[in-house]
């Protein structure tokens, strides 16, 4: 990956877990797992609480349909890591009710909500909710939760250069499905925990407002694009708006300019989460207004 701390900066418990699972499966731990086990109190704990419910909790949408919606989001972000992963998960979780290679196999309600989610992603300032007329509001909220999760992960996968290596697609997707997007609790323990009574608000607080290496004002600026310091401006903008364009050289230039890798990690996560929250907030406003 493009930040060395995501390969080797983990706590001892995470290092032991990564080594043990790699030995047992005979497959190197996927980049997504390495990233999520780094600094779990900053990003992972609130993100996984949201993800487990969005992808495997009770829902109007089947697990396979939610995986398909994740593919659609990944396609918008041009994220090959997530496209391939969720295509495989759609096959595993879908039990044949939806074919990731044949979108016409989806029921009409999936097409309705997909068009709405795509529209929100492409232009969050002008969202038309007429296309989802007839869908239960809670079903649309559940779909927005799915989109929120992968709007974050797609941007991070692109920025940090996630790759699928030999054996990872098969073993990683089956482990994700088997454990319902959950990690053992001991891997996520530690650090401050603030519960705002809502999984989305917990994520917003942890990434943008809680104590971290960088100042909250910098993370908030990276998230919104307002008054971003010159050093970070173009980088944060690319993470938010076109993460597929981030190159290894962009991160190398930041490191050469002085910021520590931990600072780069936090600003990257803040930019990704901020962009995802803007889309989510716009979608919620469209269906409630």
pLDDT tens digits, one per residue of 139-193: 999 999 999 999 999 999 999 999 999 999 988 899 999 999 999 999 998 877 7
Q: What is the pTM of this model?
A: 0.95
Torsion 99-100-105-109 (CA) sign: positive
In this structure, are residues 38 and 10 in contact, taking their beta carbons and an 8 Å threshold? Answer: yes
First to last CA, the chain: 42
- In this predicted structure, the answer to whether residue 66 has a pLDDT above a threshold of 80 is yes
Strand partners, 102: 99
pLDDT at 91: 92
**Total domains present in the chain:** 1
> Long-range pairs for 143-146 at CB < 8 Å and ≥24 separation?
143/61, 143/69, 143/113, 143/116, 143/117, 144/117, 144/120, 144/280, 144/283, 144/284, 145/50, 145/53, 145/54, 145/199, 145/200, 145/280, 146/54, 146/55, 146/61, 146/66, 146/69, 146/70, 146/73
- In this predicted structure, the answer to whether residue 129 has a pLDDT above a threshold of 90 is no
Please, which pLDDT band fits residue 22 given cuts at 50, 70 and 90? very high
To the nearest 10 degrees (0 to 180), the angle between helices 248-257 and 230-241 is 160
Output the six-digit token pair for 61. Answer: 């949408």
Output the six-digit token pair for 253. Answer: 């230039």
- Provide the residue range defining the domain that includes 206: 5-288
Beta-carbon contacts of 18 under 8 Å, excluding residues fewer than 6 positions away, are: 10, 29, 33, 34, 37
Strand partners, 99: 102
In this structure, are residues 55 and 99 in contact, taking their beta carbons and an 8 Å threshold? Answer: no
């Amino acid at each position: 990956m493009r930040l060395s701390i995501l390969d080797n900066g983990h706590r001892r418990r995470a290092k032991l877990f990564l080594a043990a699972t790699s030995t047992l499966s005979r497959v190197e731990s996927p980049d997504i797992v390495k990233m999520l086990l780094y600094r779990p109190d900053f990003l992972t704990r609130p993100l996984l609480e949201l993800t487990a419910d969005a992808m495997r909790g009770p829902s109007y949408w089947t697990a396979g349909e939610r995986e398909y919606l994740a593919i659609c989001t990944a396609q918008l972000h041009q994220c090959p890591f997530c496209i391939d992963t969720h295509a495989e998960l759609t096959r595993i979780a879908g039990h044949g009710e939806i074919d990731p290679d044949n979108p016409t196999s989806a029921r009409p309600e999936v097409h309705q909500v997909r068009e709405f989610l795509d529209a929100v992603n492409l232009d969050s300032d002008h969202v038309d909710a007429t296309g989802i007329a007839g869908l239960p509001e809670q079903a649309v909220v559940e779909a927005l939760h799915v989109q929120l999760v992968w709007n974050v992960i797609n941007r991070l996968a692109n920025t940090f250069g996630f790759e699928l290596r030999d054996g990872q697609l098969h073993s990683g997707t089956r482990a994700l499905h088997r454990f319902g997007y959950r990690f053992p609790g001991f891997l996520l323990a530690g650090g401050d925990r603030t519960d705002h009574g809502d999984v989305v608000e917990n994520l917003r607080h942890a990434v943008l407002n809680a104590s971290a290496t960088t100042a909250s004002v910098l993370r908030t600026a990276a998230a919104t694009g307002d008054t971003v310091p010159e050093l970070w401006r173009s980088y944060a903008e690319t993470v938010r708006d076109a993460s597929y364009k981030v190159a290894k050289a962009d991160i190398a230039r930041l490191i050469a300019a002085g910021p520590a890798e931990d600072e780069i990690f936090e600003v990257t996560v803040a930019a990704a989460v901020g962009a995802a929250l803007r889309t989510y907030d716009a979608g919620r406003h469209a269906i409630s207004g």
